[in-house]
Amino acid sequence: MKRVLLLGGTGDALIIARRLGPAHVYSLAGLGRVPGDLTCGVRVGGFGGASGLAAFVREQDIGLMIDATHPYAAQMSRNACEASALTGVPCWAIRRAAWQPQAGDDWRDATGWSDVIERIALYRRVLWTLGREPLAHLDEIPPSQHWTIRCLDAHPGNARATVIGARGPFSLEGERAFFSAHRFDVVVSKNSGGSATEAKLAVARELRVPVVILLRPVLPAATREFDKTAAALQALAQWLDPDQLLTKESV
Ligand code: NAP
């Protein structure tokens, strides 16, 4: 029986996981919510690098890996490609297209943490949408700034930082209300691509608020790459025995 190991943590991954039967394994880092309603097996936590992943692939007789992690989860993507080379098991990847600036956008690229800090130095009310990373820097916030950090988990913050636990998708109306309540004068974002967290960019454009974009990491070439989940599912339906991919109606 053909077995798939799906590396997840994104909405794209969950769409695929919902189509996988009990022979297959969905793997999560364990940072976010673990869905309890899947038909496939679910495992949580790291493998112990590329060699640990390769060992798992061999032990579990996995025939195909699908890397559907976040575009910024570069370590996991590298491990998956390396494990593929070690085992000979193909690794397909969903490489979501990046957002592109539109007329009216004021985007400033940043290559890493210190670059981001430099680019926001002149602003007072900063919205962070990078995930947890700013939480490690709460003691470094300059007196001239207030940070609002939106990430998966709530956190007490401090006098200069408000931490909001929230998970997408975020609507345009919701983002308009959020920006209007906090009066941000700069936004910090990854270039995640996809629609779930894109509305903040539209609101920043409307309000002429600059967006500091942390550039994407370079990812290794996978055996096959897809920019859309639907295309990956189509290829998966061909790779699997016909009865192994659950129909939409059965999930
Ligand atoms: P990472 O830096 O690429 O991964 C670090 C380690 O976490 C990996 O080496 C692996 O540990 C473990 N890991 C990651 N994804 C895993 C999975 N699906 N199954 C099992 N283990 C996994 O990625 P990250 O730490 O998850 O996130 C990096 C950035 O991407 C962060 O900014 C985060 O907010 C963002 N992000 C990631 C995801 C995601 O899909 N992972 C989702 C949303 C946002 P071992 O080496 O021990 O195997």
Q: For residue 53, which atom of ligand 1 is closest to its CA?
A: 48
Give the per-residue SS3 of 91-150: EEEECCCCCCCCCCCCEEEECCHHHHHHHCCCCCEEEEECCCHHHHHHHHCCCCCEEEEE
Element (H, E) at 7: strand 4-7
Residue span of the structural domain in which 137 resides: 107-214
Distance between Cα 29 and ligand 1 center (Å):
5
Quick one: 196 and 235 in the same domain? no
* Residue 131 resides in a domain: yes
Quick one: 10 and 87 in the same domain? yes
Quick one: 112 and 209 in the same domain? yes
CATH code for the domain in which residue 201 is found:
3.40.50.720
Quick one: 84 and 134 in the same domain? no
Distance between Cα 123 and ligand 1 center (Å):
31
Number of domains in the chain: 2
pLDDT tens, per residue, the chain with 251 residues: 899 999 999 999 999 999 999 999 999 998 878 899 999 999 999 999 999 999 999 999 999 999 999 999 999 999 999 999 999 999 999 999 999 999 999 999 999 999 999 999 999 999 999 999 999 999 999 999 999 999 988 899 999 999 999 999 999 999 999 999 999 999 999 999 999 999 999 999 999 999 999 999 999 999 999 999 999 999 999 999 777 788 775 54
Quick one: 119 and 186 in the same domain? yes
* Residue 102 resides in a domain: no
Name the residue of 14, 62, 76, 113 whose CB sits within 8 Å of the most ligand 1 atoms, as the mutation to test its pocket.
76
Quick one: 204 and 239 in the same domain? no
Cα 161 from chain centre: 24
* Residue 8 resides in a domain: yes
156 CB burial (10 A radius; 0-12, 13-18, 19+): exposed
CATH code for the domain in which residue 224 is found:
3.40.50
Quick one: 9 and 90 in the same domain? yes
Quick one: 222 and 182 in the same domain? no
Quick one: 59 and 140 in the same domain? no
